[in-house]
Structure 1
Amino acid sequence: MNRLWIGLLTLALTGCASGYGRPKLPYDAWYIGIAAPRYMEVWVESVDVIDQRGLAFERVHGGVVGYTRKPEGWHNGGGKMKPIGNVDLPEIIFVRWQSLVEPQTYNVRIDIPQWVRDEMVKPQRAFCPWSQKWKTDYRQNVSIGMAPGGIAKAWIGGPCLGHKEIGRFVGKVSKVGPYNGTSGGKHRPLSEDAAAYVEKHGIPYGSW
């Protein structure tokens, strides 16, 4: 991980020195959403992005996530959304998170294929149920779901467009533990509701 951060910093400094300007996108920002199955609580320490120009951006998102309606399976997109401005379309996304029900800390690398970037800038006619109107929309939202066992899934979608799955990924256990080894191995506490559910039902490994 130390080599990763050095590489990210080098890319960022190189990009800044090269005089890269604002990315040319059909919108001001794309979005990253972070989510987890219900009761399978997580805390996201960092979401880092390398964009298609090769520039690195650290900690563009993190913290509390949005939760699905049930512990098993996925909701196919969504989550706690955050706009990612002045960043070009993603090529690689790194996520570091604490899985509080285990507890364990994971790192995952999500490679974004070219078809996803093509889809993110493709204008499409879409019907918005809440406004009952048609509009030109983009799949500018990248959603990342995290589950116990280091499982992560990613989708792209839009405000009025359905989600398409990017892929399923398996993270690696962090060798240094939570908070980059600064907490003495202590994770954030699990809520009483989540703890009670896990004690009664266990963790539904294999459903993600």
Structure 2
Amino acid sequence: MALRDRIFARVYDRVLAPLEEAGLQTWRAELLADLSGTVVEIGAGTGANLPHYPAAVDRLVLTEPEPLMLRQLRDRVDRAPAGVDVTARRATASSLPLGEGEADAVVATLVLCTVPEPDAVLAEARRVLRPGGRLVFLEHVAADDRPERLRRQRMLDPFWPHLAGGCRLTRRTEAAIVDAGFRITSITRESARKAPTVIRPMIRGTAVAPA
């Protein structure tokens, strides 16, 4: 791991704590509340979603490519509801350890902004999802409705990934999900209070894989 990645992994929870208290925890809980069956989470990080998975999830596969993040994630797998079969695997979001059509849902929270090739990641999500399976997402995006904020995002975008684990500020994730062949069934656009202004524009919702 590069030094910057080790530092980012160690401070990640502390940096996100004010955002979690300001609304992210609630958004995570709402998004995950009705999941069931086999679920795979991409870029699970240190496990912020773990307390919010419902008992109806029979099997939960958590994937994370960074070793230090994965170590912290494995230390926290006991946060999952009792009775849920949980495994934490080292894997990139573009190469998931599941077979074709094996998952009922794929969860992506604050990860599609960081992956080098979001189109490849979304294609992989489609591969592992059963027909009609769900992609559940919570992501910060380009501020297309706020020109001044978008200008600041574009100005900072060449430097931001070096400070924030590869995160890009100007991703248009909603369009990427649609272009990947998913049908968005619900979406909420909201500003994340207490977040730096350049990452406040957020989208969260559900998209369905082709039947």
Same fold (TM > 0.5)? no
For normalisation by structure 2, the TM-score amounts to: 0.29
Q: Which of these two proteins has the greater Rg computed from alpha carbons?
A: 1
**Structure with more of its chain in strand, by fraction:** 1
For normalisation by structure 1, the TM-score amounts to: 0.29
**Structure with more of its chain in helix, by fraction:** 2
